[in-house]
Structure 1
Amino acid sequence: MRTILITGGTDGIGRGLALHFLRNGDRVIAVGSTQAKGDRLLADAERLGAADRVVFHRTDLTLTRNCQELIDFVDASYPRLDALILGARHDRPFGPRVETEEGFERHLALLYLSRFVLAYGLAPALERAANPVIVSLCTPGVSAGAINWTDLNMTGKYSGFKASLQALRANDLLGVIFAEKRVGGKTRFVAYNPGVVATSMTDTLPMPVRPIAKAVFKVAAQPVDKALPPIVALVDAPPEQRFSASWKTKQVDLGKDTFDVDKAWRLFDATGQLLRTHKTGIAV
């Protein structure tokens, strides 16, 4: 029986993947921040006869200490981890900068730092599996956005839209450096762009943007069940390359500037410095 951990596992694509793998006979650790959504997933798992193979781990992944607690939970509870699917995301493109208790800009914390900490922290558990893979649901192939090298935490002039794009570009570089640093490892890292999917993402947008976005999504977005098969295929048969990126079923050219190795090393060093400056206790 495989053990699969999914962040953002109680809603949207993450929930769809959780139910798929439960039907398949796998064990699923679904990570989310909302109790009601977790309860709904647990009820669905019980109806599938899979109540003994699902765990809802409620936590706030914007805090690195909670990411470390999740790593400790996995290490103490399971002999290995077969797949890590990184899907937790909560964009706030409008409004003022929101800072976590640990002093990090919220987009950076949830969309990048949590994935950084979990990928490296769970790497030993993944390496104990036969064919381990990390699938990061992000936006490879998109060039919009840039890393703010002089103000990674965006404490100066702020734009939620730019903060979100920065975190997404950081995700591209995370996959690059993970593969560079773990040359001898078995774990494959895949950056995957599912395209526009009909999830609850638009629910968090303010008025009057929300109804407009919902109308656009209704026309342009594919349903969740249609978005699942390519992701499932990556988990069932990971690519041979240590790092790969794809947009739906099309491979993304890793020669693009968004996957620059020197920038990936620079971001790794900057991330380590940021974690140390904020005294998170996370060793990199």
Structure 2
Amino acid sequence: MRTIVITGGTDGMGASLARHYLAAGERVVVIGRSRAKFDALLASVVPSARPRAGFIAADLSLVEDNRRAIDRLMRDHDRIDALILAASYIRQRRYVTSEGREASWSLFFLSKYLFVTELAESLRTADRPVIVNTAVPGARADAIDFDDLEMADGFTFRRSNAQQRRANEVLGILATERNPALGYLTWGPARLVRTGFAGEVGTGMKVATAILGPLLGQRAEDAVRPIIRLVDAPAPGRAAYRGAEALPLTSGAQDENDAARLAAAVRASL
């Protein structure tokens, strides 16, 4: 029996993955903000699967909640076979958390950095460890503003999104250097997914999502099928995918230096 950890596992694609792996006989730990949503997830699976489901309540835009969740995972599980980083909450404007950090950077990168680096030993003990980071690959190589990671000056959704995506690709360099047996995948869906929209966005995006989702979107359970195949047969090293299609990794001459520089900046900020 494998241990599968899913952040953002109470909604959308994360919940679809949780249901799949519980039905497949795996142990699943879901991390999310809502116990009520986890209870609804449990009610949707067969009773025999429910003892294999665990829940850790956490707001992953808060560093302290991330650390508490990670400590719980390390205390309860000697081995983690798959770590699926799927938590999402879209903000089009800059927002500062109660810890004084920019919320999107905290949720979409700092949280993932902490899970990837602090659970490294738990993943190392697995036979075929894999991380799936649902950060759509393909951001340009120079998208990280090392002088202003939290974008206090000139925040835009586009800049913030590109920086998070590129930082998560670079995070794979750090992860696989420490564990050459690890498969580290940056992954995004091939097309729009019909899920509940989590975020604070403008009316235009809400309307577009409400109209286009039912017309053009794929069901969450269909969207995650490529993730399931990748988790069930992981290959060591870094890779990038849109749906089931492998993409070339964005590469630049400074990749390793950027990885080291990013790690140093994050450590200093924490």
> Structure 2 length normalisation: TM-score?
0.91
Aligned residue type for 1:272: R
Q: What number of residue pairs does the alignment pair up?
A: 269
**Corresponding residue for residue 157 of structure 1:** 154
Aligned positions of 1:117-196 closer than 5 A: 117-143=114-140, 146-180=143-177, 182=178, 184-195=179-190, 196=192
**Corresponding residue for residue 278 of structure 1:** none
Structure 1 residue 114 corresponds to structure 2 residue 111:
yes
Structure 1 residue 44 corresponds to structure 2 residue 39:
no
Q: Mean Cα displacement is larger for which, 1-10 or 28-37?
A: 28-37
Q: Counterpart of 2:65 in 1: which secondary structure?
A: helix
Alpha-carbon distance in structure 1 between the residues aligned to 2:217 and 2:245: 18
Sequence identity (%): 35
Q: Are the counterparts in 2 of residues 91 and 164 from structure 1 also a CA contact under 8 Å?
A: no
Q: Where is the strand percentage greater, Structure 1 or Structure 2?
A: 2
Call closer, same or farther: CA 1:142–1:198 in 2, change over 3 Å. Answer: farther
Alpha-carbon distance in structure 1 between the residues aligned to 2:248 and 2:204: 37
Aligned residue type for 2:159: K
Aligned residue type for 2:265: A
Q: Are the counterparts in 2 of residues 143 and 258 from structure 1 also a CA contact under 8 Å?
A: no
**Corresponding residue for residue 89 of structure 2:** 90
Alpha-carbon distance in structure 2 between the residues aligned to 1:258 and 1:154: 24
Aligned residue type for 1:41: L
Q: Which runs of 5+ in 2 are unaligned?
A: none
Alpha-carbon distance in structure 1 between the residues aligned to 2:254 and 2:130: 19
**Corresponding residue for residue 63 of structure 1:** 62
Alpha-carbon distance in structure 1 between the residues aligned to 2:268 and 2:163: 17
Q: Are the counterparts in 2 of residues 7 and 14 from structure 1 also a CA contact under 8 Å?
A: yes
Measure how far apart 1:100 and its partner are: 1.6
**Corresponding residue for residue 280 of structure 1:** none
Alpha-carbon distance in structure 2 between the residues aligned to 1:255 and 1:211: 32
| Aligned residue among 207, 229, 232 for 2:225 | 229
Call closer, same or farther: CA 1:166–1:209 in 2, change over 3 Å. Answer: same
Call closer, same or farther: CA 1:2–1:263 in 2, change over 3 Å. Answer: same
Residue by residue, what CA displacement relative to the aligned partner does 1:84-124 show, whole Å, maximum 9, x if unpaired? 0000011111x4x2112222110000000000000111111
Structure 1 residue 10 corresponds to structure 2 residue 7:
no
**Corresponding residue for residue 207 of structure 2:** 211
Measure how far apart 1:55 and its partner are: 0.9
Q: Counterpart of 1:201 in 2: which secondary structure?
A: coil
Q: Mean Cα displacement is larger for which, 197-206 or 266-275?
A: 197-206
Alpha-carbon distance in structure 1 between the residues aligned to 2:122 and 2:174: 19
Alpha-carbon distance in structure 2 between the residues aligned to 1:164 and 1:87: 15
Alpha-carbon distance in structure 1 between the residues aligned to 2:113 and 2:199: 27
Residue by residue, what CA displacement relative to the aligned partner does 1:221-278 show, whole Å, maximum 9, x if unpaired? 22112112210111111013x2111122222212534993332222222222222xxx
Alpha-carbon distance in structure 1 between the residues aligned to 2:208 and 2:243: 25
Measure how far apart 1:132 and its partner are: 1.0
**Corresponding residue for residue 80 of structure 1:** 79
Alpha-carbon distance in structure 1 between the residues aligned to 2:56 and 2:119: 15
Q: Are the counterparts in 1 of residues 133 and 187 from structure 2 also a CA contact under 8 Å?
A: yes
Call closer, same or farther: CA 1:139–1:26 in 2, change over 3 Å. Answer: same
Q: Which runs of 5+ in 1 are unaligned?
A: 276-284
Alpha-carbon distance in structure 2 between the residues aligned to 1:49 and 1:76: 25
Structure 1 residue 273 corresponds to structure 2 residue 268:
yes
